[in-house]
Structure 1
Amino acid sequence: MTSLARFTYRLKTYDSMKKKWDKYLEFGKKFYKGCNDLLGIRFIVDSSEEELIEMIEMFKNIKECEVINFYTNTKTRDDGYRGIHVYFRYNRKCFPIELQFWTRKDALLHFYSHEVIYKSAPENEEFWEYSGKLRNWLDNIPVPPKEIEIDYINYLYDVLNKDK
């Protein structure tokens, strides 16, 4: 088992929240469900997807937690997003608090897709298909020989995050 490598957060912008709220209203979803990620708290771990799933097992026995595993759940559109979200909600009068757990591979794709793809054309299906293809490419990078100390994903992640 490996340790947490990085903690990040973001506050959802007004425009992003408004867009999400309008979408939730359109589909008749509850208000608190649309506000579950006003504050995004992310833990980026230096581990495999399997190790990450094992680490999250501890949350499954907590009554106030809901664990959403995007590694095993199927989505209607595979945009390449992977991760595990843990929602804490102390009672029905509270908004849920969301923690996201990503591997370094997840982080590479998420930051790129959000900063480049999503902001370029959020409703363009071709862009999201591209993001899904990037995920497939990342998932199929060859495993290096054991003599190589660092694999490509970790190398790329370290290079891109050396000043952060």
Structure 2
Amino acid sequence: MDDKKIFKILQHWFPELLERKIPKKKKRKDFEEFLGWLVAEKVANHLRAYMMKIDRHAFHENEIERSAVFQDYNVDSQNLQTTIRQRAKPILAHFEKHKAVIGRYYNVQDQVFDIVFEEILTLLKVHNFELLLIYADDYYWLAVPNEDHKIEKFCKHFNKQFHDEDISIEHYALFDCSRST
């Protein structure tokens, strides 16, 4: 397998990454090396990144303000964070109120993460981008151009490359089914 493919696809999507040397062959299957290659850069007085980490215990720690794509399109990250908090507030309040009954059977964080990812994806779609989610020790998200064939190819190669580390990726999608909240 040519394990350079995911790096090459990322360089195609984000020409800024052409300036970064692809890691040596023996290090390409190391997820930490991959994260290091995509590390945020300081531009002016803010961080700019393509791969954003989300704290599993604090949904508002999602690095939206670091997103190079959102920066390029002048997305108001504070407004986006406010929208996420407003949508999450009633769910968290309901959970707190009924925690004694539903607490051990229900993971409220998963529902809140859906809100975070729905809001991010909604804004990305306005600019013809899609959302990829990476499941590792932490969650990561990546905004990529809406190119279905390349996204499918990237995800397939990514999952092959990091399978041994039990790390996976998915193309996040919104579902049109109704929710009960």
Higher helix share: 2
Q: TM-score, normalised by structure 1?
A: 0.25
Q: TM-score, normalised by structure 2?
A: 0.23
Higher strand share: 1
